[in-house]
Amino acid sequence: MEYYGLLKNEQPDSIVELVLCANVIPAEKKKFLETIGIECKELGINSINTIASKYNYQFLDAEPKVSIAHSINIESIPETEKVWIFQANPTRYDILNALSDDKIGSEIHWLVNQHKNEISKGHLGIIWLSGSEAGIYALTEIVSNPEFMREPEDEEKYWIDSSDKGEEKLRVKMKVLKNLVNIPIYKNELRKTVELENISIFRQCQGTNFPLTNDEWRLIKKIILNHNT
């Protein structure tokens, strides 16, 4: 808005057309901006990466994100009795920017709406983004049992609807072991593996927490290894 005003002030007789591109644009902000002539376009990370690859573009934050993504050797992660998928809805929570926020770092909290008596400290978690860019965006270790808690302010700000903020809800604390936000593993890639066609989140995508079998995790772990190489 300030940039739009600056341009109009400098060139009052010129036609100014601006386009705001972002991974997620809250509906109320989109409606307001478009009333003053700023077009809004949601552009997913897959599209951004495709364009960047076409022109051999290197992101300014690529180097630190690579170091984060490879900060732990996935082959050294011990076997666990349970692995869970934690789903993020991009229309409710901006998980992409949350995972990229240095203030949040490697610790993130997540709602437990299903399987509250089964999810526990020591299990592994997979952060999954729903929608058109669906797929795996991080691998985590669950470092607390489910308990009622509020999110830290740095995480809470990424809720798009203010009604989701400021409440104590059943959550777990997780440590991000592998951040894949710049190199996600998309849903379509997983579907290429026949044994993964019927994982729980494919059968019923409504919900927050989904279990994986040991065989499914073994295959996904292999895909992550091949994906990073």
- pLDDT one-digit tens code per residue, 6-25: 998 999 999 889 999 887 67
pLDDT at 43: 80
Determine the Cα–Cα distance for residues 131 and 127; give it in Å rounded to an integer.
13
Determine the Cα–Cα distance for residues 5 and 16; give it in Å rounded to an integer.
10
- pLDDT one-digit tens code per residue, 36-95: 889 998 887 777 778 888 998 887 755 544 434 444 555 566 567 799 999 999 889 989
What is the average pLDDT value for the chain, to the nearest integer? 86
What token pair was written down for 114? 């299903």
Res. 96: pLDDT tops 70: yes
Query: What domains does the chain contain, in order, with CATH numbers?
Result: 2-43 (no CATH), 67-228 (3.10.590.10)
| CA-CA-CA-CA torsion sign (87, 81, 182, 222) | negative
Res. 190: pLDDT tops 70: yes
In one-letter notation, the amino acid at residue 220 is I
Phi and psi of 61, rounded to 5°? -100, 15
What token pair was written down for 89? 């809805």
- C-beta of residue 125 within 8 angstroms of C-beta of residue 139: yes
pLDDT at 49: 77
pLDDT at 71: 47
- pLDDT one-digit tens code per residue, 101-144: 888 989 999 999 999 999 999 999 999 999 988 999 999 999 99
Determine the Cα–Cα distance for residues 74 and 77; give it in Å rounded to an integer.
5
Core vs surface per residue 165-199: b (16+ CB within 10 A) or e: eeeeeebbbbebbbbbbbbbbebeebeeeeebeeb
In one-letter notation, the amino acid at residue 16 is V
> pLDDT exceeding 90 applies to what percent of the chain?
49
Q: What is the CA radius of gyration of the chain?
A: 20
- C-beta of residue 155 within 8 angstroms of C-beta of residue 98: yes
Q: Which helix or strand (DSSP H or E) is residue 129 part of?
A: strand 124-129
Q: Which helix or strand (DSSP H or E) is residue 67 part of?
A: helix 62-69
Instruction: Note the pTM of the prediction, 2 decimals.
Output: 0.75
- pLDDT one-digit tens code per residue, 143-175: 999 999 999 999 999 998 888 888 899 999 999
